[in-house]
Amino acid sequence: GAGVSQSPSNKVTEKGKDVELRCDPISGHTALYWYRQSLGQGLEFLIYFQGNSAPDKSGLPSDRFSAERTGGSVSTLTIQRTQQEDSAVYLCASSLHPGLTYEQYFGPGTRLTVT
């Protein structure tokens, strides 16, 4: 079956512009996660959705970052007024249900470059 998909695969934007990153989870998966993979920083957890709600947004790096999920499916991560330090690969994952007994399936990521 189809896995987690993300779009765009690559995004180059100018500093100060807004960007939207999209994640399509596996059909039927109720939990959705966003991570950021920065060079030299490893993988950083950003936010998690259970259904359409995000219980904890404290992992978002700044108030320029926001995320939403609609219809219990597609999620969008928005970065406003992008900065060069936002350059990274943004990974999305989904799992059948919340909780770590359920495997998180990762998408291929969106590589964001802020110039």
Partner 1 sequence: AQSVTQLGSHVSVSEGALVLLRCNYSSSVPPYLFWYVQYPNQGLQLLLKYTTGATLVKGINGFEAEFKKSETSFHLTKPSAHMSDAAEYFCAVSESEYSGGGADGLTFGKGTHLIIQP
Contact residues for partner 1 (CB under 8 A)? 3-4, 31, 33, 35, 40-48, 50, 55-56, 59, 91, 93, 95, 98-101, 103-109
Q: Could you tell me the smallest distance in angstroms from the CB atom of residue 16 to partner 1?
A: 28
Is the separation of the CB atoms in 10 and 111 below 8 Å?
yes
Q: Could you tell me the smallest distance in angstroms from the CB atom of residue 9 to partner 1?
A: 9
Instruction: Please state the φ and ψ torsions of residue 84, each to the nearest 5 degrees.
Output: -65, -30
> CB atoms < 10 A from the CB of 75, how many?
24
Q: Could you tell me the smallest distance in angstroms from the CB atom of residue 69 to partner 1?
A: 14
Contacts of 12 (CB under 8 A, 6+ apart): 113, 115
One-letter amino acid at 47 equals: I
